[in-house]
Structure 1
Amino acid sequence: MSTIYSAGLRISELVNLPITGIDSDRMQIYIEKSKGNKDRYTILSKKVLDLLRVYFKKEKPHYWLFEGMGSTKEKPLQYSSRSIQSILKAALKKTGIKKHVTVHTLRHSFATHLLENGTDLRYIQSLLGHSNSKATEIYTHITTKGFNQIISPLDKLDI
């Protein structure tokens, strides 16, 4: 879940992410042939990198960053989307969160939180892999954080 939220990934992008997609030198994740058959880079969180290093030493994946049960070097098996959805469902139940949340909600939260923290919409568009800015602009309608700090131009006039 941390990898999805921290990089704005789609669930399919996570299950299709090979180990080689993690570039710790550049602190980026390379997403290959995602929606629309497009490639892109997104950010790699330092905290997620630390978690991935612990995970990697313990689980020793062969090809896919996250592999399913029974995966071997000769036959690496991808982790399933259904398993990721089940993990989120269990986490929501454990924490008592009743709000409807999906794995894709984490992607939306990534974009919304970047926007709230002042990240330019064009960067968010690139990180999400949106070719059309209209797809990214929906996040401007979701957030109202900071509205109380915006001063109307009229209030700046000496009238």
Structure 2
Amino acid sequence: MLDKPLEKTVDAIRSTKNRQIPVVLTQDEVKQIITLLEGVPQLVVKLLYGSGLRITEGVRLRVHDIDFEYKQITVRSGKGNKDRVTTFSEGLMPSLKDHLQRVRLIHEQDLQEGYGVVYLPNALSKKYPNASKEWGWQYAFPARSLSTDPRSEGTIRRHHIDQSLINKAIKVAVKKLGIVKKVSAHTFRHSFATHLLQRGTDIRTIQALLGHNDLETTMIYTHILKQGGEGVTSPLDDLNI
């Protein structure tokens, strides 16, 4: 900082952050919470638990990133700006398809009224000028109202829903059920990984589904169960809801 040489050698040890054991729900607790939720919050929480998504990944999901045929979800520019593919619950398909049909009607109405332009990342709007109006690029969970995008010169568009909407719905459901655990949207991602381990899914497969760089990050779930194995289907399908 002072641009002066040190008089003595400093043998400093880099500090490390203590890793805490994550809060995990039982399958019965997950089922109770999801059953109390409704509408968009319920769909998003089912994705968080059924696919291991982070809340930001859930609300930013685009229509073309949901593959109903291959039963998978592509997460674009996740943590660390990485893309990954994760599993998708077959039981969620009917309700999500119905939801997307309603979203498409909203998008078509926006287009008729001169709007319907969605935000595109990484200057893609310059490379593909018409892509911002295409159905596939629209958010799967759009906001209820249009708003001015502060990143543009007064462009009015429909953004994705705010993640606080989901967290508030979760908080209300947890309070009604009397669950004393500290539950947030991220708890469902932790529960996704833990319940896959309980079913015998290989730890490296879970690492890939979660998008962890380091296996040690995923290994924290073994401290809860201390077991491993093979095979992957979405744990949401075990709930029959």
Structures share a fold, TM > 0.5?
yes
* Offset of residue 128 of structure 1: 0.1
Matched, 1:65 2:140: yes
Measure the CA separation in 2 of the matches of 1:144 and 1:122: 14
Unaligned 5+ residue runs, structure 1?
Answer: 147-159
Distance 1:94-1:59 versus aligned 2 partners, 3 A rule: farther
Partner of 2:82: 38
Distance 1:145-1:137 versus aligned 2 partners, 3 A rule: closer
Aligned residues: 145
Residue aligned with 1:42, SS: strand
User: Which residue, 195, 205, 211 being the options, matches 1:129?
Assistant: 211
* Offset of residue 112 of structure 1: 0.2
Residue aligned with 2:85, SS: strand
Measure the CA separation in 1 of the matches of 2:146 and 2:63: 14
1:14-56 Cα offsets, whole Å, 9 max, x none, are 1111111100111000000010000000001011222211222
Identity fraction in percent: 41
Partner of 1:94: 176
TM-score, scaled relative to structure 2 = 0.56
TM-score, scaled relative to structure 1 = 0.83
| RCO comparison, higher one (Cα < 8 Å, 6+) | 2
Measure the CA separation in 1 of the matches of 2:74 and 2:227: 31
Contact 2:46 2:92 in 1 (8 A): yes
Residue aligned with 2:80, SS: helix
Partner of 2:62: 18
User: Aligned runs of 1:1-12 on 2, under 5 Å?
Assistant: 1-12=45-56
Unaligned 5+ residue runs, structure 2?
Answer: 1-44, 108-137, 148-155, 229-241
1:91-130 Cα offsets, whole Å, 9 max, x none, are 2123332321111110000000000100000110000001
Q: Highest Rg: 1 or 2?
A: 2
User: Aligned runs of 1:141-152 on 2, under 5 Å?
Assistant: 141-143=223-225
Partner of 2:93: 49
Residue aligned with 1:36, SS: coil
Contact 2:65 2:73 in 1 (8 A): yes
1:43-90 Cα offsets, whole Å, 9 max, x none, are 010112222112223444641111111149x72211111111111112
Distance 1:50-1:95 versus aligned 2 partners, 3 A rule: farther
CA RMSD of aligned residues (A): 2.0
Runs of 4 or more consecutive aligned structure 1 residues displaced over 4 Å after TM superposition: none
Measure the CA separation in 1 of the matches of 2:60 and 2:185: 15
Q: Which has the higher helix share?
A: 1
